[in-house]
Chains A and B, each alone.
Chain A
Amino acid sequence: MTALLSVNGVTKQFRGLLAVDSVTFDVAGGEIFAVIGPNGAGKTTLFNMVAGMLAPTSGSITFAGERIEGLAPDKICRRGIGRTFQIVRPFPALTVEDNVIIGALLHRRDVDDAREHASNVLRRLDLYVKRNQTASSLTLPDRKRLELARALATDPKLLLLDEVMAGLRPMEVDVVVATLRELNRETGLTILLIEHVMRAVMALAGRVLVLHHGAAIADGAPDAVVRNPAVIDSYLGAEAVG
């Protein structure tokens, strides 16, 4: 099995702070992979290195057989990695449809083609009826879904989700989980998510990597990882494992 994304010995140092310490993991095509860990563990830094917002101090990141570390975010997106932001960033003054058309135009030259593709994505995410509303008028769960729609419209091979469940109610989490599973099952989309909401991680992820103080302390199937004493100790707390 060849990995779609391969992170190899990646380290990020901010002056005196070692934010990510030689992290290595592979994400196979079609897999849903979660990165968890306490606040400040380096999850977002790791995420930003994959997405191109930050260049690693050392180590390599390989996507679909090509090195991508240090590339600009737009180049990384064009190679097939879509992302969402932890704090949502839709284009506020534009309509829901235009937001998604912009994503769809990445690999389509014709606006009508892009609109059609955008409509399909919007239907899949149950946003089609709201397509003429401006993004700024949406509720938080809808804005999160819109970000997901915009990222999906770029036809990614790998989708990076930065705490897409944060701030959602349990019911809403279940809806997003169902959507992501469906996407993964039907289109073979590979997903790498950073997540605090364990309910979503347990339901979604095939594999989990746990970061603590920038280093990977566990890597494996979700139910094995949550019983790992080091993980319970550093992150989950004893009461979390019922």
Chain B
Amino acid sequence: MIRRLTAGVPARALLLLCVLLVGFLVAPLFAGDYVLTVLILILYFAYTGQAWNIMMGFAGQLSLGHALYVGLGAYSAAALYVHFGLGPWIGLLVAVPVAALTGAFIGFLAFRFRVAGVYFAILTIAFAEFARVGFDHFGWTNASSGLFLPVAQYARNDLWQLRGHPVMFYYVLLAATVLAFILCRALLKSRIGYFWLAIREDEEAARSAGIDVFHYKMIAVVISAAMTSFAGVVYAFYYNNLFPEQVFNISRSIDIILGPIAGGVGTLFGPILGSFVIEILGEGLRSLLESFGIDVPGIKQVVFGAILLLVVVAMPDGVWPWLARKLGLTEQQK
């Protein structure tokens, strides 16, 4: 299994990966509160970007509504916690199926009736918007007034209830990001992964090579939605408040896709590198300006726009393929 996962990967890539992982593991020891918050955001977007990448980067299906799955995961787990005192890990047993089934429903509608390309993207936006409006009027989750998780000072980290210091959330998200990375590598090297790439490249040719396109697109959307919902559960217990207007907002969906687009759509390392680039530059510039006493609202969005523009023009495949070549990390010839 491990042999297959690492086949064709240069030794120095594995070494760098280990160094990076160790760096992430020890980072909280040196990071202050602010840096830790930024690192949590980076991991959150690396993880959700990886999940989104399964649909877009592997299977070629553009989703612009991934906030839907974050929101469904967040609301499912939070509501179970608030109403029944069920912890987040139990909540996952509901949150993941809810998101996966919703993904399956959207996928079924789209793929059965051959809704593709931008029309598929619009459909995903529409469902995220349905959810936003729906949850705005859904009394059980407190509608538009927002759902709040009880907050108290916790003396110790309670991993089972996901209550505690941000460092705990950092490690939960780090574990999730590592697992997502390994899962995506395994998927990409499997039969399913090859079929996804075929569908991404040319759906008609894939069909003529005997691939049941509908079936494999459904697998992509279900896995992606299920993975994304876990991020939603963590989101709910980290922020302790949920508002439909924020959670399901289209700009949350856009935030998710910025990382992989900047880093490299369809690559395994793109989502991780991309969320780094986006967050570091965005946050970095803001704090730099603040240190000069300049407070520009919305500067982060402007920076995101500028980064994307730069990436699209200078590195249309994303930063990662370029960096990988510079580091000499392209896959070895078999």
Chain A residues close to B by CB (< 8 Å): 51, 72-74, 77-78, 83, 85, 89-94, 97-98, 101-103, 105-106, 109-111, 114, 132, 150-151, 154
Contact with A along B199-238 (1 / 0, CB 8 A): 0011011111111110000000000000000000000000
In the complex where A89-B202, A105-B191, A132-B333 touch, is A73 in contact with B197 (Cβ < 8 A)? no
B195 interface residue (CB < 8 Å to A):
yes
B190 interface residue (CB < 8 Å to A):
yes
Residues of B within 8 A of A85 (CB): 205, 208
Bound Cα distance from A85 to B204, whole angstroms: 10
Bound Cα distance from A106 to B198, whole angstroms: 12
Residues of B within 8 A of A114 (CB): 191, 194
B334 interface residue (CB < 8 Å to A):
yes
B189 interface residue (CB < 8 Å to A):
yes
Partner of A91, one of B189, B191, B198, B210: B198
Interface size class for chain B?
A: 20 to 34
Are B197 and A98 closer than 8 Å at their CB atoms?
yes
Partner of B208, one of A51, A92, A94, A111: A51
Are B205 and A101 closer than 8 Å at their CB atoms?
no
Q: Closest CB of chain B to A36's CB: distance in Å?
A: 23
Residues of B within 8 A of A77 (CB): 207-210
Residues of B within 8 A of A101 (CB): 194
Are A106 and B205 closer than 8 Å at their CB atoms?
no
In the complex where A94-B197, A102-B195, A102-B198 touch, is A74 in contact with B208 (Cβ < 8 A)? yes
Bound Cα distance from A51 to B206, whole angstroms: 13
Q: Closest CB of chain A to B156's CB: distance in Å?
A: 46
Are A102 and B208 closer than 8 Å at their CB atoms?
no
In the complex where A74-B213, A154-B210 touch, is A102 in contact with B202 (Cβ < 8 A)? no
Q: Which residue of B lies closest to A160 (CB)?
A: B208
Are A111 and B190 closer than 8 Å at their CB atoms?
yes
In the complex where A106-B209, A154-B210 touch, is A91 in contact with B334 (Cβ < 8 A)? no
Interchain residue pairs with CB less than 8 A apart (23): A72-B207, A73-B204, A73-B207, A74-B207, A74-B211, A74-B213, A85-B208, A89-B202, A90-B202, A91-B202, A92-B202, A101-B194, A102-B195, A102-B198, A102-B206, A102-B209, A105-B191, A106-B209, A106-B211, A109-B191, A110-B191, A150-B209, A151-B209
